[in-house]
A and B are shown apart, each in its own frame.
Chain A
Amino acid sequence: MTFGTILGAWVAVFLTLAIFSYLYKDNPFYKIAEHVFVGISAGYWASMFFWTQIQPNLFGRLWPASEYNADSFWYKIYNGLHVLTSAVFPEGGIDKGHDMHLIYLIPFALGVMMLLSVSSKLSWFARWGIAYTVGMAAGLRAYGFLNSNVIGQIKGSAMQFVGGDLPFFALIGNSIFNNIVILVGTIAGLAYFYFSKEHKGAFGKLTKLGIYFLMISFGASFGFAVMGRISLLIGRFVDLIDYSKPQYNHATIWILIAMIVLLGYNAFKDRGKNTPVSEDAA
């Protein structure tokens, strides 16, 4: 067990217990962990996206190693950059399996405009980047959702009502009764999302049935969501128990005691002042 891992375990336990301390009340430990989290996650995603998007996919397509030749003007610029930071621009071009696509200067320009929009004078620079994002989303998402959400579900709704071994009624597995329930439920659920007709009379009854089916579906995903949350809490406690073992120098036990003592002392000190009992108690 290297020192790095033990130190890591102590840091992990401190941050875990600091976040959990929010359950007691919004206290300095939680504020520290919250702010460290805000800082770390901004830096984490900036590094991750730079090294998995900008460097390989943008620079990798502007100066690919496969078409490197030192005397072309374009690669002279590259060598200048290489002198600047050899980590980002390694010797002899970037080898990420791309060939040269100078059209990628367009997203590069839109990206730089996005950065320049930090200054309020140039804040409209960001509009072109936003326009591209919205345009792409409109096209790709429209096709994808129409394909899987609409056509795909229509195909799924064409239920089987006749066929070899299909029983009329069976709770588990395929049966004519179950298929009728799904078909009626889908059509009634669709009717609920009908806006241009008042939900009254016979149509009102259909939409009422529709919202009932929707609510059962929400109930199912509610049940699964609670299940998922409990599993994640189990996962955290399993880690904390693991880090309380001797090879991590009982990290969890020491930090837990230290926190309880400090928070207890803090609460004891504030007992005099009439600070409202933590706002969460309301």
Chain B
Amino acid sequence: MKDKQFWIIGAAITVAFLIFWMLGHPGFNGERIVMFVAIVGMAGTLIYYIRIAKRGDSFFLRTIPGLKAVEEAVGRSTEMGKPVLYVPGIMDMDQVETVAGVIVLGHVARMTARYETSLNVPVSRAIVMKAARESVREAYTLEGRPDLFHEDIVHYLTDDQFAYAAGVNGIMNREKPAACLYMGKFYAESLILAETGNSIGAIQIAGTASQAQIPFFVTACDYTLIGEEFFAASAYLSQKPELMGGVKGQDMIKAGITIVIILSVILRLFHDLGWIGWDVLNFLTVQ
């Protein structure tokens, strides 16, 4: 689908929607128009850039130190003949961070398959156990080493936050992994893991969007993927065009949001000065 077609379809949809809106938008909740425009606008931007990436244009992406270190960490474990410990967070597949953690696990599993390093993935949710096993099995077959894969690489400990942390602590003290990767959604147990990982002298790389845990990872780990950097990780590691396009699309949306913020500050200024009656604040209040 060439650029020209994309814009024609886009224009057609907008015109159709305007006509529908003029006709009194039957069956459409008018109050949530801002969210609707935001969703369609942002999804459209993402699709536009994903399409360009698929067509072959390459994008420049700045380096993220934490991701470069993942390959080094797996290499280090291979030299020392020690396992790699991968913790995909303690939440379920309904959290997008957990799903992102399982994606990064897939790439790490390809590295451990290539380097023939042993991989240990303790999980705290049954659905995650299933998804992680599929992801690791797929990675080992893609690297041509299905023989190295066995089900117990990914094993379930418990659903409870602290029983899980205690269990992972036990694994760290017993197996002494050379690299500990924490990728997913974390709560208070993040420090128990990072502190124990510190005391066994492992390289620690963390990636999470859990705001409250980022400070502990930043101070206690060697590298930390902060918030959005963690979500962009799968694009960086896979170099898949549609994922790279997605990251580029997100950047464009961020630029758009910055402009909207500045615009709404100015509009509020005008409103407060009485120059315009229209109040931007209740426009942005969504029911």
Contacts and interface: CB of A to CB of B under 8 A. Distances in A.
Residue among A129, A130, A138 with the highest chain B CB neighbour number at 10 A: A130
A221 B254 contact: no
Question: Interface size for chain B: under 10, 10 to 19, 20 to 34, or 35 or more residues?
Answer: 35 or more
B127 A130 contact: yes
Interface string B48-84: 0000000000011110100000000000000000000
B16 interface: no
B158 A41 contact: yes
A280 B200 CA distance: 8
Given A34-B163, A38-B158, A197 B199 contact: no
B44 interface: no
B160 A195 contact: no
Question: Interface size for chain A: under 10, 10 to 19, 20 to 34, or 35 or more residues?
Answer: 35 or more
A195 B251 contact: yes
A279 B191 CA distance: 18
A37 B166 contact: yes
Contacts of B200: 279, 282
A150 B170 CA distance: 40
A130 B176 CA distance: 33
A190 B265 contact: no
Given A195-B61, A197-B62, A154 B257 contact: yes
B261 interface: yes
Contacts of B188: 225, 228-229
B170 A158 contact: no
Q: Is the interface of A mostly helix, strand, loop or mixed?
A: helix
A160 B247 contact: no
25 contacts: A22-B166, A34-B166, A38-B160, A42-B158, A42-B159, A114-B126, A127-B130, A129-B127, A134-B94, A137-B96, A137-B99, A146-B39, A158-B264, A158-B280, A159-B265, A161-B268, A163-B272, A190-B257, A193-B254, A195-B251, A196-B248, A228-B188, A279-B199, A282-B199, A282-B200
Interface of B: 34-35, 38-39, 42, 59-62, 64, 92-96, 99, 126-127, 130-131, 133-134, 151, 157-160, 162-163, 166-167, 170, 173, 188, 191, 199-201, 211-212, 214-216, 218-219, 226-229, 232, 247-248, 250-251, 254-255, 257-258, 260-262, 264-265, 267-269, 272-273, 280-281, 284-286
